[in-house]
Amino acid sequence: MAASKSVRPPAPLRILTAVPLCDGHDSAVTTINIELARHGIEVIYLGYHQSVSAIARAAIQEDVNVVGLSSYNGGHIVFFREVADQLKRSGNADIPLFGGGGGTITKADERVMRRQGTDRIFYAGTPLKEIMAVIQRDYARPAKFVAKFRGDRALARAITLAEAGVKKPPQTKPRASAAPAGKKKAFVVGVAGPGGAGKSTLIDELTSRFLQRIPGGRIAILANDPSHPGSGGAILGDRVSAIYAQDDRVFFRSLATRGSLTGLSRAAPDAIALLRGSGQFDLILVESVGVGQESDPFRIFGRGPALVDATLFVLAPHYGGLIQLQKIALLNGADLVALNKCDHPMAHTAKAEIQARLNQNGKGQTLHTTTAARHFDAGVDALFGALAGIGGLDDCAGGEKPCHLKISP
């Protein structure tokens, strides 16, 4: 029987989870995250030791249905109140807050916390099934346009509507890619590469260079992560690596693929257009999910209009040998190629092999060698310089410097 076209499956619920400042108890929230994703929920996990402003900023930019904090080390009465207050002060009091914390948060604490803006506390011994049922019952709601939203929340909601496939009112229609007069014209870079190569870590380090070198500039990051094909849920973990995204000059948004097999969410083209059209960003970095040999997430090979202005392909030394390298289509078209994890002993050989592969292309592609896990890495400096040079971001474009390979004896 043909499925009815008019029935749209409800958009997955999006929840931000985090552990407060000075608290490293992340085992509980990790269990909860997995369970939420198993129940079809998209989880944006911020990590442990997170500040009030980092949590509020992430909740706004991710446009979540609810914030869930896991708190064990005490201080919860003040901390939860501050998160609720910060959301309220920024005009986002509609984002509810709940939490859990084993034996630390008492019933008496909860009564005070409820008066101060916390919705509820899940206590020790509450079955996970019950927690999931309550969350689905009380926090799922259809995405709607809200005229009073301002700033990052308005932008975030427009992206949510694009993700949900909701017809947008005229005010939120993505504008053409050219920025309106007097506004910034963003340089959009697609970042692709196998899962685990260090794309997110590298993006974070590039963000730090941007913040240092482009005073007053604003950067957006669109991080695509896979949805679970069975449950439809997802753990959108790219924000955990995003140390430098804790800055109001950074707009960070996670997108789940929701069944799209291109390496990007189906909403990514609209989201990119919305970010470009906002006229407030100098640089937009779009991270694909971990891509395979035939992937072309940014349409650089002519199947439809290209989504980005330039492409960065990131590899780690474990790509599996020369033959594997030959098969990676994006190495033919990427404007910039980075060999990351140059602290690994295999990096030396990998550098020679990838360089030979790029030489065969005959396009003058430069191979950048980076160690994104290390702050102040000279290879990342050089990569940012090259990127800024192509994008005309400033005059800080530098030459490629060799990375400091730590080759084992």
Ligand X SMILES: Nc1nc2c(ncn2[C@@H]2O[C@H](COP(=O)(O)OP(=O)(O)O)[C@@H](O)[C@H]2O)c(=O)[nH]1
Q: Does 195 bind ligand X (CB under 6 A)?
A: yes
Residue from the set 143, 197, 220, 310 that interacts with ligand X by CB under 6 A = 197
Query: Which of ligand X, Mg ion, ligand B12, none lies near 74, with the C-beta cut-off 5 to 8 A by kind?
Result: ligand B12
Q: Does 224 bind ligand X (CB under 6 A)?
A: no
Task: Provide, rounded to whole angstroms, the least separation between the CB of residue 344 and ligand X.
Answer: 6
Q: Which of residues 245-304 bind ligand B12 (CB under 6 A)?
A: none
Query: What are residue 121's DSSP bridge partners?
Result: 99
Q: Does 17 bind ligand B12 (CB under 6 A)?
A: yes
> Segment contacting ligand X (CB under 6 A): 64-72, 296-304, 337-345, 388-396?
337-345
How far from each other are the two terminal CA atoms of the chain, in whole angstroms? Answer: 66
> Taking the mean position of all CA atoms in its chain, how far away is CA 255?
7
Q: What does the block give as tokens for 233?
A: 């849920």
**Which is closer to ligand X, CB of 269 or CB of 290?**
290
Runs of H (alpha helix) within 295-346:
322-327, 330-333
> Segment contacting Mg ion (CB under 5 A): 51-59, 236-244, 332-340, 368-376?
236-244
Residue for token digits 């901390």? 79
Task: Provide, rounded to whole angstroms, the least separation between the CB of residue 135 and ligand B12.
Answer: 7
Task: Provide, rounded to whole angstroms, the least separation between the CB of residue 370 and ligand X.
Answer: 6
Task: Provide, rounded to whole angstroms, the least separation between the CB of residue 263 and ligand X.
Answer: 12
Other CB atoms within a 10 A radius of the CB of residue 384 amount to 26
Residue for token digits 């779009």? 286
Q: Does 126 bind ligand B12 (CB under 6 A)?
A: yes
Q: Does 125 bind ligand B12 (CB under 6 A)?
A: yes
Query: Which of ligand X, ligand B12, Mg ion, none lies near 209, with the C-beta cut-off 5 to 8 A by kind?
Result: none
Cα–Cα dist 104/71, whole Å: 8
Contact 285, 189 (CB under 8 A): yes
Site string for ligand X, 339-378 (x = CB under 6 A): -xx-x---------------------------xxx-----
Exposure b/e, 244-268, CB count within 10 A at least 16 = b: bbbbebbbbbbbbbbebebbbbbbb
Cα four-point dihedral sign 192, 198, 202, 204: positive
Query: Which of Mg ion, ligand B12, ligand X, none lies near 215, with the C-beta cut-off 5 to 8 A by kind?
Result: none
Q: Does 311 bind ligand X (CB under 6 A)?
A: no
Site string for ligand X, 240-259 (x = CB under 6 A): -x------------------
Q: Does 200 bind Mg ion (CB under 5 A)?
A: yes
Q: Which of residues 51-70 bind ligand B12 (CB under 6 A)?
A: 68, 70
> Taking the mean position of all CA atoms in its chain, how far away is CA 395?
28
Q: What does the block give as tokens for 168?
A: 């947008």
> Segment contacting ligand X (CB under 6 A): 152-160, 188-196, 267-275, 354-362?
188-196
Residue for token digits 């650089």? 300
- Amino acid residing at 89: R
> Segment contacting ligand X (CB under 6 A): 149-157, 199-207, 255-263, 267-275?
199-207
Q: Does 238 bind Mg ion (CB under 5 A)?
A: yes
Cα–Cα dist 343/13, whole Å: 39
Q: Does 198 bind ligand X (CB under 6 A)?
A: yes
> Segment contacting ligand X (CB under 6 A): 59-67, 77-85, 195-203, 266-274?
195-203
Other CB atoms within a 10 A radius of the CB of residue 336 amount to 19
3-state secondary structure of 36: helix
Q: Does 101 bind ligand B12 (CB under 6 A)?
A: yes
DSSP code string of 339-378: E--TTSTTHHHHHHHHHHHHHHHTS-PEEEE--TTSTT-H
Runs of H (alpha helix) within 245-315:
268-278
Contact 143, 161 (CB under 8 A): yes
Task: Provide, rounded to whole angstroms, the least separation between the CB of residue 51 and ligand B12.
Answer: 15
Q: How many residues bind ligand X (CB under 6 A)?
A: 16
Q: What does the block give as tokens for 324?
A: 């594997």
Binding region for ligand B12 (CB under 6 A)? 17, 23-29, 31-32, 68, 70, 72-74, 99-104, 122-126, 131
Binding region for Mg ion (CB under 5 A)? 199-200, 238
Binding region for ligand X (CB under 6 A)? 193, 195-201, 241, 290, 340-341, 343, 371-373
